[in-house]
Amino acid sequence: MLKNIIFSITLLLFLTGCSKLNTTKVILPPSWIGMQKIAPNVYVDKDMNKTEQQRLIKIIPEAKKYTADVWGELESQPTIYACSTKECSESLGIGDARAHQILNHLVLSPRGITKKTIAHEWSHAELYKKVDGYFNWTEIPMWFDEGVAVLVGHDPRNDKRAWEKIQNENLQYPSIDELITLKQWNQSTKKYNKNIDMNDIVVTYAVAGHEINQWYKKVGTKGLNELIQKVKNGSSFKDAYEKGNK
């Protein structure tokens, strides 16, 4: 077990950089980082009260259904770490985010304990699982991964309602070619959301969600899974995506 932990931490440091050291804590046994089990694969900090725990347990199956509605039969069964305090969130490296997916773990801040957020992050875990790990996952552009997650999550800040707002108000937005890498994604989010309240709309997510919404209408669950299988088998993402987009 210790060897597996060391390997996983080494991989995470490689993926995220040493500045994200707190993020690697999710690989450690839950008791080592002050998390307690309340259901299979569900852990919370010691400060979360019973009412909050019960609400979390209730919405997880609902989030799973959201995810399965798009992906079909799920292969992933992520471990969920939910924080009820800012201190817990900071200790697990979430920062100001609502949530993060890290390998097969979903880490939720207090604001992230919603079925929409859990479903969004679960979609990331499902893609990571189905594409069979990091090296195949790097072939997937950010806009695709995030766009599918937007489709799954039904968050009005990101979905078709957000895209309609962009169009109706003539807001500037990036092309998907500006949203391929994580670095590009973060730069574009900062640029295009500069004067826009992110609690209202997140432009990069709305763009990715719109692109995937149009594509998914053509290919559906079957086409989504076929694309991931092709990438897993060595095909280029671009070729696989363009064939489904004709």
Give the global pTM. 0.88
Mean pLDDT of 60-77: 97
Q: Cβ contacts of residue 167 below 8 Å, gap of 6+?
A: none
CA–CA distance, 173 with 206 (Å, rounded to integer): 9
pLDDT at 31: 83
Find the largest Cα–Cα distance for the chain. 55
Residues 6+ apart with CB under 8 A from 93: 20, 21, 22, 23, 24, 25, 100, 107
Residue among 202, 119, 113 nearest 166 (CA): 202
The edge-to-edge listing of strands for the beta sheet with 42-45 is 35-39, 42-45, 79-82, 105-108, 99-102
pLDDT at 2: 45
Q: Answer yes or no: are the C-beta atoms of 149 and 101 closer than 8 Å.
A: no
Q: Which amino acid is at 101?
A: Q
- How many Å apart are CA 192 and CA 176, to the nearest integer? 13
In terms of Cα–Cα distance, which of 220, 60, 228 is closest to 129? 228
Q: pLDDT of 90-105, one tens digit each? A: 888 887 889 999 888 9
Per-residue model confidence (pLDDT) at position 246: 64
Residue 209 pLDDT grade (very low, low, confident, very high; cuts 50, 70, 90):
very high
Q: What is the mean pLDDT of the chain?
A: 88
User: pLDDT, tens digit, for every residue of 119-173?
Assistant: 999 999 999 999 998 888 889 999 999 999 999 999 888 888 899 999 999 999 9
At 74-85, the pLDDT tens digits run 999 999 999 999
Q: Between β-strands 99-102 and 105-108, what pairing exists: parallel, antiparallel or unpaired?
A: antiparallel
Q: Are strands 79-82 and 105-108 parallel, antiparallel or unpaired?
A: parallel
Here the tokens at position 187 are 């730069």
pLDDT of residue 96: 81
Element (H, E) at 80: strand 79-82
Q: What is the pLDDT of residue 23?
A: 62
User: Considering the chain, what percentage of its residues have pLDDT values greater than 70?
Assistant: 89
- The angle formed by the CA atoms of residues 231, 216 and 139, to the nearest 5 degrees, is 25
Dump the DSSP string for 209-242.
HHHHHHHHHHHHHHHHHHHHHHHHTT--HHHHHH
